[in-house]
A and B are shown apart, each in its own frame.
Chain A
Amino acid sequence: MASIHPPKPSSGGISGSTIIIVIVAGVLLILGGVLIGTLTPQLFPPPASAEAKPVDDLFHISLVIGGAIFLLVQGMLVFSIIRFRAKPGDTSDGAYIHGSTTLEIVWTAIPAVIVVVLTILSWQVFDTIFTPKPDEAKVFAAGARFNWAFTYDVPLSIMPEQVDLTKLPEDVRADVEADGLLSVTSPILYTYVGQPVVMEMEPKDVIHAFWIPAFRLKQDLIPGRTTSIRFTPTIAGTYPIECAELCGANHGLMRSEVVVLDNEQGFNQMMVPMMDEKIHPPADPVLRGRKILSSNVYPCYTCHVLSDLTEAPQPWAGNVGPALNGIADRVASSRASATGQTPAEYLYTAVHEPSAYLVPGYGALMPQLNIPECDAWAIVAYLATQSESGSAPFEVTQPAQCVITDTGAAAPSSEATVEAAPTGEATVEPTPAS
């Protein structure tokens, strides 16, 4: 083994000029990084929550550091390409240098320090985001393919007029009596400036991820778990909500909005009409079912077509499940007999236990939405009217506990009343108060 390694270039004596070059280059790199960090146009949507600012600041710090590293690497590359290119005809090799312990220690230590600093900064921001705030308002979010539903517990006291508990529909009264709060659900998230919110979330089917880009916050919804997310809106406005975890065909359409109102009064103004609808539901189950479906609170519209519901904020144009136009005729003529149920029972099963019977050609894709029984029966009553002729080809009998006396809702149209009349078999009597 006669190979002789030439003496290593000494790494000991660093000349003064080298130190100056290193310092100048270092300063230039840092300046360059700061320049990248500040000149880069706004890369985020406008920040609208208390959490957004620290996240943006953290990013800008990492952009300055990353920018400096980027310039260092590309700078060294370009310099080497120009300075060390082989001249035509040059057959010699480069310098026989194997390494430099000093340099290797330096370029291990500097990145190590950088990541320690970034870790500490990230940890601090992490703490501010995840620490519970005093007086948090609670919201519950459900994600189902492919919409969002947000449920608020609101005190009845915000209603402009006194509410007579005894006159409430049975399920609504039970809800209010449990905690003095009324639950209302909306496909849009309402909140107001300065109110810290903790939102608990559960999916109905697959994994979803709740993301408000303007708030810089995201959290997955995982079947079998309740996860939560905290935010404090700071600027009034309307911002997109996206689903960020692949959830199926219309994942890209699983959007909603968060409406940040100026103050609590504004928030209450949004709640009152929803509460009013709960407190004074239309007595006619057909009308009630129609209202439930057109509110887009349930995700049905994301998978089914139903052209009757023109007033729904989002169109009923989903192509994942069977179309519901003319559903009543199909149920009456074939689907019900195929299962041995009456048409009304069949429709109720289809809403309430979606995978019990499958329409040929469609998989068990519809989630168990846990629609309350009376809402489900109202939906059935409405769907029974979706026929070619426009009238229900079969009768839908509402269970006794779902029959609602007129609680003072705006008078339903006369047609609806007429249509509803034959379905209301149970006597119109208030159920005994507890």
Chain B
Amino acid sequence: MASISVPVGAHGGAQEAEQPKLRVSDYLKWSVDHKIIGVQYGVTALFFFIVGGTLAMLIRWELLTPNLDLVRTGAEYNTLFTTHGLVMIFLWIIPMMAAFGNYILPLQLGAKDMAFPWLNAFAFWLIPPAGILFIGSLFVGAPESGWTMYPPLSTLFTGDGQTLAALAAHILGVSSILGAINFIVTIMNMRPPGMGWWQMPLFCWAILATSIIVVMATPFLAGALTLLILDRIAGTSFFDASKGGDPQLWQNIFWFYSHPAVYIMVLPGMGILSEVLSVHSRKPVFGYKMIAMSSMAIGIVGFTVWAHHMFTSIAPELRIPFMITSMIIAVPTGIKIFSWLGTLWGGKIRFTSAMLFGLGFLSMFVIGGIGGVMLAMIPFDIHVHDTYFVVSHFHFVLFGGSVFAIYAGIYHWFPKITGRMLDERLGKWHFALTYIGFFFTFFPMNLVGMLGMPRRVAYYLPEFEGVNKLISFAAFVLGLSTFILIYNLIVSLRNGKIAGANPWRALTLEWATTSPPPPTNFISDPVPFTDPYGYGSEGSQAYLDEIDRRFGLGEDTTVPRPAPLPAPSAGD
């Protein structure tokens, strides 16, 4: 047998590390263990997902009819979608991706922790105070200028909550930057022997690309927010045209961060997708290098497209170059989609819940991508800019993309994190309701947008009532589907089947240790398989069998084992 087929070093590890019992209280305390921090990120993010989702339900309730019925004033409605956007972006998707990054990335690299464990904990603990500020902002003159906070609306016309929200976003930006520096250093320095750049799992590539974007872009958000806060509380007038400032300055700086921020939210999801599609179709990722490099290309080109958010405000002749870059960025995205389809082709697809969400991502994200190219066409964009067409587009990208990927990641890695399997039957119900609810919530928005309904309105023309009712009811289905996941998470934590070390028979290193991993992650230095996606290659079965033998099997039979193995060790 080839020497490579052994997941852990030949010597050492004879003594299995005693699995420490983690209590709930361990997760409420300061800890520098990346696994605890990862769970802290994840649970915090899920909490805010419920908060943001509740706000979304209120928005859809209000929009059941063309006039006000749920809220008393249009201003109240504005606070709903403003907070919904801020919470979903800054407190759900970005921290949730950081949750996966924190938990999974050091394990995939065979490392014992992140490069800077203390900094890692500090970055997390910035989030709760920011979350409190966001929620507190609702009670002191809630912000009503949208998550985009365009001045002068955000400087001259909204309450003190706006300042708090800006401060909160500021703090979360600091948290992101610290986290990103940590990821970059970890990836650069802590790969194990035998893992060159091109043997690194694609999730790590995605986190690397994301972290580079975070480090380069987020300081611009910080700059913009500082100017905004100064305008609000210190009497400056950076954005006040009547005193020589320029409101468009904000748009330029803000989108210089916020367009790359879309990739901050989507690229880790794409990384998750590469893992899930490959593992659950038992086939190497098709075009590994192209996927890794397209993440980098998206990261770089992503910095040159920001003004397409300003196609109706900047001088017309300046719009053309941004149309060209916005079109170019579709190419690396297309490469990824076709590479993933190539990954499925000729595989042995297993329809686990994780895989269903992965496939759901592919089929929904492509709609977001096509909509994105349409929006890059200036003349068409001028018509649908700031309409429900755009709302549909970015939800196809951020929900159909990022959130579907997060769901896939949860079903894929929950066994590793907790040692228990999620209920697959509930997972399939969750997928079915989410997929249908999602499509009928966001696809019809294209239609009302093109027909003439602007976004961010509490009042709309009566002829759009039918479509809006359909959208709202679908949204309620989508909202309810979330609780299947929450229920599944809670119940499975206690009663789920014992997962074993490697329930999916995956080759990346996070599976070459117990579930959950011991505090030091690995009992001895793990040895990565030559190809992180070498399914079907010679030696891969032996490598996977060795993991099963070393760490024991779980109770789950979703993925059948090729040959009978020694009886599973009794899990506790």
Q: Taking beta carbons and an 8 Å cutoff, which residues of A are in contact with B? A: 1-6, 43-45, 54-55, 58-59, 62-63, 66, 69-70, 73-74, 76-77, 80-81, 84-86, 89-100, 103-104, 107-108, 111-112, 115-116, 118-119, 121-123, 125-126, 129-130, 205-207, 209, 211, 213-214, 216-220, 222-225, 227, 240, 242-253, 319-320, 363-365
Q: Which residues of A contact B73 (CB under 8 A)?
A: 249, 319-320
Q: Which residues of A contact B288 (CB under 8 A)?
A: 98-99
5 pairs of A and B residues whose beta carbons are closest in the complex: A224-B241, A252-B457, A213-B452, A94-B283, A2-B2
Q: Taking beta carbons and an 8 Å cutoff, which residues of B are in contact with A? A: 2-4, 73-75, 78, 144-146, 150, 152-153, 156-157, 159, 194, 240-242, 245-248, 281-284, 286-290, 312-313, 316, 319-320, 323-324, 327-328, 330-331, 334-335, 337-339, 341-342, 344-351, 359, 362-363, 366-367, 370, 373-374, 376-380, 382-383, 385-387, 446-447, 450-452, 454-461, 529-531, 534-541, 560-562
If the complex has contacts A218-B386, A245-B386, are A253 and B459 also in contact, measured as CB distance less than 8 A?
yes
If the complex has contacts A43-B447, A104-B335, are A99 and B379 also in contact, measured as CB distance less than 8 A?
no
Q: Which residues of B contact A3 (CB under 8 A)?
A: 2, 4, 529-531, 534, 537-539
Complex Cα distance, B400 from A93, in Å, reads: 28
Q: Which residues of B contact A214 (CB under 8 A)?
A: 452
Residue from A45, A62, A213 whose CB has the most chain B CB atoms within 10 Å: A213
The one of A111, A206, A253 that contacts B74, using a Cβ cutoff of 8 Å: A253
Q: Which residues of A contact B386 (CB under 8 A)?
A: 209, 211, 218, 244-245
Q: Which residues of B contact A98 (CB under 8 A)?
A: 284, 286-288
State whether B370 touches A66 (Cβ < 8 A).
Answer: yes
Complex Cα distance, B145 from A250, in Å, reads: 12
The one of A220, A247, A250 that contacts B312, using a Cβ cutoff of 8 Å: A220
Q: Which residues of B contact A97 (CB under 8 A)?
A: 283-284, 286, 346
Complex Cα distance, B281 from A86, in Å, reads: 8
State whether B537 touches A59 (Cβ < 8 A).
Answer: no
Name the residue of chain A whose CB is nearest to the CB of B294. Answer: A108
The one of A93, A123, A243 that contacts B540, using a Cβ cutoff of 8 Å: A93
State whether B348 touches A122 (Cβ < 8 A).
Answer: no
State whether B537 touches A5 (Cβ < 8 A).
Answer: yes
**B326 smallest CB distance to A (angstroms):** 9
Q: Which residues of A contact B194 (CB under 8 A)?
A: 1
State whether B535 touches A252 (Cβ < 8 A).
Answer: no
State whether A1 touches B241 (Cβ < 8 A).
Answer: no
Residue from A112, A122, A252 whose CB has the most chain B CB atoms within 10 Å: A252
Q: Which residues of B contact A100 (CB under 8 A)?
A: 286-287, 342
Name the residue of chain A whose CB is nearest to the CB of B351. Answer: A85
Residue from A6, A97, A111, A125 whose CB has the most chain B CB atoms within 10 Å: A111
State whether B338 touches A95 (Cβ < 8 A).
Answer: no
If the complex has contacts A73-B341, A242-B454, A363-B157, are A111 and B534 also in contact, measured as CB distance less than 8 A?
no
**B403 smallest CB distance to A (angstroms):** 19
Residue from A91, A97, A98, A219 whose CB has the most chain B CB atoms within 10 Å: A98
Complex Cα distance, B381 from A219, in Å, reads: 11
Name the residue of chain B whose CB is nearest to the CB of A103. Answer: B342
Q: Which residues of A contact B2 (CB under 8 A)?
A: 2-3
Q: Which residues of A contact B156 (CB under 8 A)?
A: 205-206, 364
State whether A248 touches B144 (Cβ < 8 A).
Answer: yes
Sample of 18 A–B contacts (CB below 8 Å) = A2-B4, A5-B537, A62-B373, A77-B359, A84-B345, A84-B347, A94-B283, A96-B534, A99-B286, A108-B334, A118-B376, A126-B316, A206-B152, A207-B313, A218-B386, A244-B385, A244-B455, A246-B455
State whether A59 touches B538 (Cβ < 8 A).
Answer: no
- Tally the A-B contacts, defined by beta carbons under 8 Å: 314
**B451 smallest CB distance to A (angstroms):** 6
Complex Cα distance, B386 from A54, in Å, reads: 21
State whether B146 touches A246 (Cβ < 8 A).
Answer: yes
Name the residue of chain A whose CB is nearest to the CB of B382. Answer: A218
State whether B349 touches A62 (Cβ < 8 A).
Answer: no
The one of B146, B152, B320, B538 that contacts A223, using a Cβ cutoff of 8 Å: B152
**B195 smallest CB distance to A (angstroms):** 12
**B363 smallest CB distance to A (angstroms):** 6
If the complex has contacts A1-B4, A3-B2, A207-B153, are A107 and B335 also in contact, measured as CB distance less than 8 A?
yes
Name the residue of chain A whose CB is nearest to the CB of B82. Answer: A246
State whether A246 touches B152 (Cβ < 8 A).
Answer: no
**A30 smallest CB distance to B (angstroms):** 15
Complex Cα distance, B334 from A56, in Å, reads: 25
Complex Cα distance, B540 from A6, in Å, reads: 12
Name the residue of chain B whose CB is nearest to the CB of A95. Answer: B346
Complex Cα distance, B145 from A2, in Å, reads: 60
State whether B312 touches A76 (Cβ < 8 A).
Answer: no
Complex Cα distance, B457 from A222, in Å, reads: 20
Q: Which residues of A contact B240 (CB under 8 A)?
A: 223
If the complex has contacts A45-B452, A223-B241, are A77 and B344 also in contact, measured as CB distance less than 8 A?
yes
Q: Which residues of B contact A319 (CB under 8 A)?
A: 73
If the complex has contacts A59-B380, A73-B366, A213-B451, are A248 and B287 also in contact, measured as CB distance less than 8 A?
no
The one of A76, A94, A125 that contacts B282, using a Cβ cutoff of 8 Å: A94
State whether B530 touches A1 (Cβ < 8 A).
Answer: yes
Complex Cα distance, B386 from A363, in Å, reads: 27
State whether A251 touches B457 (Cβ < 8 A).
Answer: yes
Name the residue of chain A whose CB is nearest to the CB of B456. Answer: A246
Q: Which residues of B contact A225 (CB under 8 A)?
A: 241, 248
Q: Which residues of B contact A251 (CB under 8 A)?
A: 74, 78, 454, 456-458
A3-B531, A96-B534, A213-B452 given; 7 more Cβ-contact pairs under 8 Å: A3-B529, A98-B288, A115-B327, A207-B313, A224-B245, A252-B458, A253-B459
State whether B367 touches A70 (Cβ < 8 A).
Answer: yes
**A407 smallest CB distance to B (angstroms):** 36
Complex Cα distance, B324 from A58, in Å, reads: 16
State whether B242 touches A86 (Cβ < 8 A).
Answer: no
State whether B281 touches A119 (Cβ < 8 A).
Answer: no
If the complex has contacts A98-B284, A99-B286, A112-B331, are A129 and B367 also in contact, measured as CB distance less than 8 A?
no
